[in-house]
Structure 1
Amino acid sequence: METPKSRRPLVKLPQRSSPVVITPAALRPPQEVLVENRLAWSYEDLALMTGLSRPTLRNLVLNHGFPHVRIGHRVLFTPESVRDWFATQVVRLPPGTEAIVDDDADVEADE
């Protein structure tokens, strides 16, 4: 029986003087990305922009009709629908009533 011949690569690759080092994404420095210019936002993007936690956003999606787009298992949010939804959630006081403001809360937060 014949022994199989070793195959040569179709393209000859240049020899590298140093090994290629790939840094995992978690260890890379954060990159500044303009979130406002994206077509859709992730849970993390929306959490950073609104100050709401991811579980709170998930609760809004599952139980309160928060507008979202599903692509497979991924949940995304379009900027227009998020802005529209937040605009409908503004609490308007009836004429002649005043909002109750807790001034002590601001003092404690500043200290």
Structure 2
Amino acid sequence: MKKSKNSVQGLIGLERFTRFGVKTDKAELAFFSVEPTNISVLSATNIDVKIHHLMMLLSTIPDLEILALDSCECFDSNKNHLRKRLEKEQNEAVRKLLQADYDFLDEIQVEMSTARQFMFAVRFRRE
């Protein structure tokens, strides 16, 4: 059954999901998630070498698109929500659970403050 052009899938040309991404009416996009080494512990020379090697590798791949993501922004809104709930909550048992959730988010936010994720999208055009 063909998707209607009035649907979201029809408007963006989405045909189907594939093993590594999506297939549209114009191309197939494959996505690859990469979590880099923690470079904050490396010397400046080693960082320069890693950046140079990555640049050389990526320059050989045509139609490569890169998305850099930082998941830290979600922590702030979740912590704000929990803080507001704590201010309004009357039940002491629920307050303890909310505080435990808030403390947990605070703890893992510190651990993930330097965590970065990159998504590489490769566009395979129909030929």
TM-score (normalised: structure 1): 0.18
Decide which structure has the larger Cα Rg and report it.
Answer: 1
The normalised TM-score by structure 2 is 0.16
| Greater percentage in strand | 2
**Higher RCO (Cα < 8 Å, 6 or more apart):** 2
